[in-house]
Amino acid sequence: MLIISQQEVVELLPMDECMAVMADALTSLARGDALLPLRTMLHLPRDLGILATMPGYLGDPEALGIKVITVFPGNHDTEFDSHQGVVLLFETGHGSPVAMMDASAVTAIRTAAVSGVATGLLARTGAKDLCILGSGVQARTHLAAMLFARRIDRVRVWSRNAENARIFARDAHERHGIVVEVHGDARNAVEGSDIVCTVTASREPVLFSEWLKPGAHVNAVGASLRTARELDSATMARAKLFVDRRESALNEAGDFLIPRGEGLFGDDHIRAEIGEVLAGTHGGRASETEITVFKSLGLAVEDVAAAQHVHYRALERGLGTTVLLGGRR
């Protein structure tokens, strides 16, 4: 089995390649060529965090694996990632484990890559003004994905931690050569933006309908619990809603479930899965003025597809550390 470190995952999974891998995986899912149960979550006492398991199988290209990850919100603003764990990859001939890799990097990159795919499909062609709400790991990877998805010429950021926002802006300039405007007020950051990415740890709305201009596209990423949301009910009711997977959204997405519980819409408010748009079985944006929302929860098939790509690249380049395991009788 090959052990692949966090830094090696980053090196082996560049954003543009990951976006292509995610598009293929989501298309396979839409065509019924994937197996994935809902994630299981063990909630720790005193709201310390969650231990989640996410198994998945893809039929084309064939891949089998599981992500085991902890989510500790209290790690924000510390030296520890909020999401930590491993992705295990198995071969499908005999079920032997072939790779284990850092899940923090896989999650950070593949989540933003899926948002990049969604933005490429749903944002207006001329979208060039980006706002990011949040300044953590996902803010950094989402900036990279948005730069691939559209020709961005203005970037604004807001964060509840002003110092983190300034650090984000500085790092973005060093990495991408772009100027990021730091805003102390979320509304000022959002107003006039063509694309908005919400990548916060908030459990209450940080984005409100009246801030969004006609034709805006939103990637709602940060909230992944039934009881948490980043978008207010009016935004969800107003928008044309796309998801990574219907079953996941109907069971796990507070951004969707809370306004549905308020009676604002039913399950049919979900227009399509992103994979359906990729497969050509459903259209995407229908007009230049409608607001589109992509609600991202993160899927095991995304982790498995990303892990398989990393494994292939590691073998090609001779990276990773090989360990011998049992498994034969």
- Give the pLDDT of residue 79: 81
- Give the pLDDT of residue 169: 98
pTM of the model: 0.96
- Give the pLDDT of residue 75: 81
- Give the pLDDT of residue 329: 60
Written as one string, the DSSP assignment of 233-260 is HHHHHHSEEEES-HHHHHHH-HHHHHHH
The tens digit of pLDDT for each residue in 88-99 reads 999 999 999 999
CB 240 within 8 A of CB 290: yes
List residues bridging with 231 in a β-sheet. Answer: 207
CB 308 within 8 A of CB 89: yes
- Give the pLDDT of residue 56: 98
The tokens for 81 are: 């990632």
- Give the pLDDT of residue 327: 65
Helix, strand, coil share of the chain (percent; to 5): 40, 25, 35
Query: Which residue ranges form the domains of the chain, and what is each CATH number?
Result: 2-107+301-322 (3.30.1780.10), 124-298 (3.40.50.720)
From residue 215, alpha-carbon distances to 66, 89, 114, 149 in Å are: 38, 40, 20, 16
- Cα first-last separation, the chain: 17
- Give the pLDDT of residue 232: 98
Written as one string, the DSSP assignment of 21-78 is HHHHHHHHHHTT-EE-PPPEEEEPGGG--EEEEEEEEEETTEEEEEEEEEE-GGGTTS
If you compute the radius of gyration of the chain from its CA atoms, what whole number of angstroms results?
19
List residues bridging with 66 in a β-sheet. Answer: 55, 88
The tokens for 324 are: 């011998």
Task: Name residues of the chain where pLDDT drops below 70.
Answer: 327-329
